[in-house]
Amino acid sequence: MIQSENTFLLGYVIFDKISGKAEVEVVREADNLLQEKIASGELTLPDGVTYVFAGNYEQQERAAKRLLLIIPMSLLAILLILYFQFRTITASLIHFSGVFVALAGSFILLWLYGQPWFMDFSVGGTNMRDLFQMHSINLSIAVWVGFIALFGLATSDGVLMGTYIHDTFVARNPRTKEEIREAVVYAGLKRVRPAAMTTATALIALLPVLTSTGKGAEIMVPMAIPTFGGMLIQSMTMFVVPVFQCWWRESALRKENRSKNKNQITDENE
């Protein structure tokens, strides 16, 4: 069959990839091999003959360029929303730190998926690695989309905790270091259970996706892995945020006391 596209005659050469290799990596290796053979004279392209890689590779390259714009915009949008909520850059960055904690959790779980010893045990005759389809996961577009979904969820526990700490400080107006710590501990203990329930709900909801095997599972499973790993580790923010809040409030109190002392000294000299 003679085919044509955009007035050019064309033929398709279809090849598959080795298991465990990313599609983009395979195409780049194939392109490098062809370039070497052309440069050495082993392969000669007749005049008017060209080749181009298409298919999934072309779509992933196009999506990767779009993600280079979307990911920074997503992070900036989250930071702006936090700023509108807390009205200070310091408080916004404290709660934004949950994104970096969650990011670390995502990469840890992606690494563990490729380790043969991870969850290599059976429950009720079913191997857990087989149940969750664990194997080496490449950083595909689906994985990066999972990261974007994670960014929005990663600050939930921190905001839940930080908002109540802020309300507690407004109500109590602590004026000493001991009072600040007492207020932070009080607010933190009040919000540990809601924060844990929020995280647990998200994790339980992702379990059916991680174990799915039907049509579209090859996209949905890699998308859910970074979100699950990030939310699992992100629960640390219910402890990290109160520590940062306490440190920030104590620093503000020290600066205020120093300013008062300077003004008193100035008044006495006058």
Listed residue (207, 210, 228) closest to 105, CA to CA: 228
Question: Do 207 and 177 meet the contact criterion of CB atoms below 8 Å apart?
Answer: no
Q: Which residues contact 119 (CB under 8 A, 6 or more apart)?
A: 128, 129, 132, 134
Q: Over 80: is that where the pLDDT of 196 sits? A: yes
Confidence of residue 225 (pLDDT cuts 50, 70, 90): very high
pLDDT tens figures, 165-178: 888 888 888 888 88
Question: Do 94 and 251 meet the contact criterion of CB atoms below 8 Å apart?
Answer: no
In percent, the amount of the chain with pLDDT more than 70 equals 95
Confidence of residue 264 (pLDDT cuts 50, 70, 90): low
Predicted local distance difference test score (pLDDT) of residue 55: 77
Confidence of residue 12 (pLDDT cuts 50, 70, 90): confident
Q: Which residues contact 236 (CB under 8 A, 6 or more apart)?
A: 101
Predicted local distance difference test score (pLDDT) of residue 59: 78
Confidence of residue 228 (pLDDT cuts 50, 70, 90): very high
Q: Which residues contact 202 (CB under 8 A, 6 or more apart)?
A: 153, 227, 231
pLDDT tens figures, 197-224: 888 888 898 999 898 887 878 888 888 9
Q: Over 80: is that where the pLDDT of 20 sits? A: no
pLDDT tens figures, 112-145: 998 889 988 888 888 888 888 888 888 778 888 8
User: Could you give the CA distance from residue 166 to residue 188 in angstroms, rounded to a whole number?
Assistant: 11
Q: 169: burial class by Cβ within 10 Å (0-12, 13-18, 19+)?
A: middle
Predicted local distance difference test score (pLDDT) of residue 68: 84
Predicted local distance difference test score (pLDDT) of residue 270: 57
Q: Taking the domain 57-269, which CATH number applies?
A: 1.20.1640.10
**Mean pLDDT of the chain, nearest integer:** 84
User: What would the mean pLDDT of 96-123 be, rounded to a whole number?
Assistant: 88
Domain boundaries, the chain: 3-40, 57-269
pLDDT tens figures, 24-51: 788 888 889 999 998 998 888 888 888 8
